[in-house]
Amino acid sequence: MIRMVQITPEPEAKKGETGTISLYGEIVPVYSMRELIGFEGRPPLPSDNLIIVKKGLEIVALWVDDTYIVQPGDLASDERHTSEHLQAMIPGTRIIRSDLLIFSDIAEFLEHGACTGTRFVDIFHKESEEEIFPEDEVRDYPWNEHILKERANQLASPKKLTEKPPVIEVIRFNLMYQEYALEMEHIREVIQTAEITPVPGTPDFIAGICIVRGEVISLVDIRALLSLPEKGLPDMNRVIVLTDGNLTFGILADQISGIGFIRTDEIVNTKQPENPDWQHIISGTIDSMYVLNSHSLLTDPRMVIDDTEY
């Protein structure tokens, strides 16, 4: 909802369409709800409001006198107005009482309901207001035009976009009481494995191999790869399968914490000079959580193990 602004008239406007406004550079049609439900039209006032809604794929503005909050008790239907015939008289609406009309489908109403010729005020034999608007508003009409024009100029200016910090979707997992995060982009699946087959002659960080859907993949122990001290007995029965289409391997985990999003501007770049693999594999930390670099892992030549010996 926005305050009323100056409306630019359109020569071939539809019924109830009073003109257009520029909403941050986008031309938006304006519909007068007063006229569409059967009240007399009048010039816009600074105290009026525009409700911006979507009509299908199109954005439109609904010109209303005022807005207020509808309480749950206000929606209790009057039994005299529940007949199907009465409810169907104006498409896209639901009549609650003689003083309350709900627009259940604004697109349906603007396309069909406003064209039936049936007016809400006619259904209940309401009379249009004797005064189009108060006398003091008439006296200030030139000043009103000035206010509406100023507001229109401000609204037409392109909206300043505030860049949102980039976010990435990650899976969080624990390994020996240390929490890690790994970007979801290269994760194929997460499985549970009951058996890991050791392979002699492989690097220490290769815990072994397992078979996933008929495919033999190597299993990486991140703790060993980063030369981190052991903090307890591992229960590595989860495998996070990574792939880039060329290389596929699994990362062992004790427990999957969940899937979520992290902001990249919250990742703190940390260094461990004594550990050369750190900067290559760890993008940084968020609190005590290590954020792994999946691209570096998948392009690390050490992950390519000759499976002809398996």
- For the chain (310 residues), the mean pLDDT of every run of 10, in chain order, is 89 80 91 84 87 84 81 66 66 76 80 65 57 49 81 82 76 90 91 84 89 88 83 75 90 90 89 76 91 90 64
pLDDT, one tens digit per residue, over 154-201 is 888 886 655 667 889 999 999 888 899 999 989 999 988 868 888 888
Max CA distance (Å), the chain: 96
Contact 219, 210 (CB under 8 A): yes
- Name beta bridge partners: 211: 216
Q: Report the predicted TM-score, pTM, of the whole model to 2 decimal places.
A: 0.48
Tens-digit pLDDT profile for residues 76-119: 666 666 666 666 677 777 777 777 778 878 888 887 756 666 66
Instruction: State the alpha helices, DSSP H only, in the chain.
Output: 33-37, 84-87, 106-111, 120-123, 135-139, 141-156, 222-225, 278-281, 294-298
Fold (CATH) for 167-309: OB fold (Dihydrolipoamide Acetyltransferase, E2P) (2.40.50)
Give per-residue burial for 46-66: e unless 16+ CB within 10 Å, then b: bebebeebebeeeebbbbbee
Q: Could you count the other beta carbons within 10 Å of the beta carbon of residue 197?
A: 12
- Burial of residue 294 (number of CB atoms within 10 Å: 0-12, 13-18, 19+): buried
CATH class of 2-156: mainly beta
DSSP 7: P
What is residue 162's predicted lDDT score, i.e. its pLDDT?
57
Helix and strand totals (H; E) in the chain: 9, 17
Q: The sheet that has 26-32: what strands, in order across it?
A: 2-3, 49-55, 58-64, 26-32, 17-23
> Which residues belong to CATH 2.40.50.180 in the chain?
2-156, 167-309
**Which pair of structure tokens corresponds to residue 132?**
């189009």
